[in-house]
Structure 1
Amino acid sequence: MTAADRVYAIIKQRILDGQYPADSYVREATIGHELELSRTPIREALRRLVSDGWVEVIPHHGARVVSWTQRDVEEVFELRVLLEPQVVRRAASRIDATQLDSLGELACHMEQLCERGDDQAIDEIAGLNNRFHAELITAADSPRLQRLLEAIVQVPVSRRSFHHYSDEELHGSMRHHREIIRALAAGDGEWAASVMRAHILAARAAQLHPPARQAHESQQQQRRSAR
């Protein structure tokens, strides 16, 4: 890993974790002082982050973290629902036993974390979920699909999406993982694609619409305020 690679990974992770919130600026001097690096690798990393859509250059101000609107999120899910079913459709005829075992282990770990349900567990589920989908892409053996999805899915909303799930939605996502694995084990690409489509649409609904428990909590708070 080069110095620029390291800076890129650190800044991207901080964006995902919310340390650099939307519309905040990533300062070259601050990063350089913290990591004890010259500005050359930092500028290279920032150019890559701009190219990948994480930050934007504001003239005379610097690099600003991109703010994702609801329309942006909707577009990401529209593209995912087109591409990811094709991923598992291809994977069904190409996946091997080792990859199936890996998917099963990831699913099991996510289910265990799901029972905890705290914020740290949700963050861990998000990371494992990314690995689960990455394993599917690897099994599909399509570099073109991989490049497309890496450009689309690696956005700030993807890592934080599980925090929008209700308990029911979270458990439903886990069931989708298991059914995708069963479909792949059976070599049934159409079954796998159908479940993946439902999985992405459910994720979109959870991301774009507050779950019932949040609405209920909001209503309760409004009633208390009105008293």
Structure 2
Amino acid sequence: MNQPSISELPRIARTATAEVHNVIKQRILDGHYRAQEYVREASIARELGVSRTPVREALRELVSEGWLEAIPHHGARVVAWTERDAREVFELRLVLEPMAVRLASERMNRTHLAHLEELASRMEELVERIEREPEVRNEIALLNHEFHRELIAASDNQRLAAVLDGVVRTSVIRRNFGNYDLANLRRSMRHHREILEAISAGSSTWAENVMRSHLLAAQALHVRFPDSPDEPQTSPG
């Protein structure tokens, strides 16, 4: 059997690291690894049939991206989502994401808009199945993240998109997704649809304001305000 050449070795190592990275990240998103649970290098290497080197590198990357935290003398563990995290994320999103939607509404082409409309329709259909098929929650969460990501990408502002990508963590959405109730999901879907209607109508101000309302509604359910008497629930952003 042919052995890889010296020039191919870095590419092969990078591929292994990327694969391990994706597996661990998906397990965090799916709730397989819980908040503050340690992700053990040796166990991952043994389970995936790779050496410990790509696992070690993948863990470093996930720490730098904010998915894991390095605990001295113990290893890497899943970062816990706190109320302070939620508050800080929404403070940033409320400034940046409406801006991105305003830019997107001015620059979006018909192909991009059609894709967003397809995502919105798929989510709406899944939401109506959620009470009898609870397993569709994860699919809705993935589509929801893609919807927001595609809206932001349509702003055609790479720096803004890069900042928002660092702020809007899918772990925030996915780890709490099981708590959403049907009314909150339906409201979120209506917001998505109205944003697209505003874009179709050529009204950047309308689109921007609906996104702000969308985020404020989610913030009210994620974050306890000082005068709030009840425990917050979660709702998709």
- Cα RMSD after superposing both structures: 1.5
- The answer on whether the counterparts of 2:99 and 2:208 sit within 8 Å (CA) in structure 1 is yes
Deviations 1:111-149 (A, max 9, x none): 111111242122111111111111112211111111111
Match of 1:3 in 2: 16
Match of 2:121 in 1: 108
The alpha-carbon distance between structure 1 residues 202 and 162, as it changes in their structure 2 partners (threshold 3 A), is farther
Is 2:63 the partner of 1:50?
yes
SS of residue matched to 2:202: coil
Tell me how far apart the structure 1 counterparts of residues 87 and 219 of structure 2 sit (CA, whole Å). 7
How high is the sequence identity, in percent, across the aligned residues?
A: 55
- The answer on whether the counterparts of 1:162 and 1:170 sit within 8 Å (CA) in structure 2 is no
TM-score (normalised: structure 2): 0.85
Is 2:197 the partner of 1:182?
yes
SS of residue matched to 2:86: helix
TM-score (normalised: structure 1): 0.88
Tell me how far apart the structure 1 counterparts of residues 149 and 100 of structure 2 sit (CA, whole Å). 10
The AA in structure 2 aligned to 1:184 is I
| Structure number with higher helix proportion | 1
Deviations 1:44-102 (A, max 9, x none): 11111111111111111111111121111111111111111011100011101111111
- The answer on whether the counterparts of 1:83 and 1:145 sit within 8 Å (CA) in structure 2 is yes
Is 2:77 the partner of 1:83?
no
Match of 1:219 in 2: none
The AA in structure 2 aligned to 1:60 is H
- The answer on whether the counterparts of 2:31 and 2:175 sit within 8 Å (CA) in structure 1 is no
| Structure 1 runs not aligned, ≥5 long | 212-227
1:8-157 alignment, distance < 5 Å: 8-117=21-130, 118-157=133-172
SS of residue matched to 1:22: coil
- The answer on whether the counterparts of 2:101 and 2:204 sit within 8 Å (CA) in structure 1 is yes
| Structure 2 runs not aligned, ≥5 long | 1-13, 224-230
Match of 2:222 in 1: 207
The AA in structure 1 aligned to 2:188 is S
- The answer on whether the counterparts of 2:36 and 2:80 sit within 8 Å (CA) in structure 1 is yes
1:182 CA drift (Å): 0.8
1:12 CA drift (Å): 1.0
- The answer on whether the counterparts of 1:92 and 1:184 sit within 8 Å (CA) in structure 2 is yes
- The answer on whether the counterparts of 1:92 and 1:189 sit within 8 Å (CA) in structure 2 is yes
- The answer on whether the counterparts of 1:3 and 1:41 sit within 8 Å (CA) in structure 2 is yes
Please identify, of 40-49 and 199-208, the stretch whose mean Cα deviation from structure 2 is larger: 199-208
When the two structures are aligned, how many residues end up with a matched partner? 211
1:161 CA drift (Å): 4.0
Match of residue 192, structure 1, among 202, 207, 210? 207
The AA in structure 1 aligned to 2:26 is Q
Tell me how far apart the structure 1 counterparts of residues 85 and 39 of structure 2 sit (CA, whole Å). 22
Please identify, of 34-43 and 151-160, the stretch whose mean Cα deviation from structure 2 is larger: 151-160
1:155 CA drift (Å): 4.6
